[in-house]
Amino acid sequence: MNNVNATSISSAINTSGAILQSLVNGMDDANSGLIDMSTPNLAGVEAAEASPNPSPEAEAADDAATMTKLPVPARQYGLLTRDDVQAEPSAIPLIHGLIGKGQLAMIAGPSGCGKSVFQLHLGAALLNADKVFGHAIPKRSRFLYINLEGELKQRLEAIEQHHAGWSFPAPAAMFLTRPWCLNDEKSVEDLAHHVNASGGVDVIFIDTLNRAIPGSDENLSTDMGMVIAHANLLIKMTGAAVVLTHHTGKAKDRGPRGHSSLYAALDTCLMVDQSATGVRTVELIKTRQGPGGAKYFFSIENINLGEDDYGLPIVGPALTEVDEASDEAKAASAPALTPQQHEAFIAISLLFQNGFGGVPLHEVSFDDALGSVKTAFAAVESKYRSTRAREAIAALIKAGRLLLTAEGNIALPE
């Protein structure tokens, strides 16, 4: 019994020793492998530390890594760093220098001056042209035209007939002719929903603001504050620019009528007016994209569109841009005539019309023009009459209402 136990114990000891030796050998092998594997990495680190000129990419990576970041909650709230501001996208220009996507703009002017014709011309140019009034149109843009007054069908037909190749393809051009309210939040939300479901637009024209806000008082800050809020809601929901057509007050030189908060909220404001010569003027009186003061000119021609069911002619208005260097533009941009200057202009115009024997004239001598004006100035004291007549003629020439020829004669602009 004792011999058996001694033999068993000895065998177990020998077996355990073999196992232990094997484990020790394995650990040595593992340690040897770890040392061998780590050697190249250490050499690489030493080589990197010894490099005196890190690459620009490495420096940029280091700069990015050390850039100060705002806490996540602050960024979620909307706080930005300078780099965040730089990375934000700029407004997409629809008409460069005039209207950008997501902006609030206005076209204002007295009744009958051509605001609607001008506005539709801008919309048509967005679909068909590379520039309008000298301003580049970077890309084709979709628009919605909310027509709340005036005959839309004839205006569209006149534009298509007057400008060869121009059209209003669907769904790039959409129109709304039923009543719609900018001063009703649900109406704004419903419109935005249907516009987005139809593919979206880049600009929404509202013609006119007065018709779009029934029951609101243009002179109350509360009512106009609501209009501004709803216009901004429409911009936010659609991403489009919103262009309001609005009227001026009795004193048109004071700008758009109504509370000043509306004008203050605009990114762009264009004033349309009709000059005494019939040429329309457009003045950029406000822009957040640079200095204002630029002027543009256009004429309106009634296009013959055929006859109605009663045989009566159908006409529609179309716009023609007028070069600012033309005599028409110079005359249109001239200051308004004084009563005395106007009287002198009528006297000279009648001289051209009647001539000296009933035959119309194309030119008259300066002395003949002076004589006709002196006759018209009968109410002016005689010792001042010649001087006042000369001053009036000089003012008419400067304003472009009369032309002084190389021979010193007086002529009327073509």
What pLDDT was estimated at residue 296?
Answer: 95
Q: Is the pLDDT of residue 357 over 80?
A: no
Q: Is the pLDDT of residue 141 over 60?
A: yes
288's tokens:
């957040």
Under 8 Å between Cβ of 382 and 363? no
Per-residue confidence band for 257, with pLDDT thresholds at 50, 70 and 90: confident
Per-residue confidence band for 37, with pLDDT thresholds at 50, 70 and 90: very low
Percent of the chain with pLDDT over 90: 62
What pLDDT was estimated at residue 8?
Answer: 45
Q: Is the pLDDT of residue 16 over 60?
A: no
Under 8 Å between Cβ of 141 and 127? yes
Of the candidate ranges 26-30, 68-72, 358-362, the one whose mean pLDDT is the lowest: 26-30
Query: DSSP class of residue 216?
Result: -
Mean pLDDT of the residues in the chain? 84
Of the candidate ranges 11-25, 35-49, 159-173, 210-224, the one whose mean pLDDT is the lowest: 35-49
In order, the DSSP letters of 273-329 are: EE-TTS-EEEEEEEESSS----EEEEEEEEEEEEE-TTS-EEEEEEEEEE-TTSHHH
Q: Is the pLDDT of residue 265 over 70?
A: yes
Predicted TM-score (pTM) of this structure: 0.69
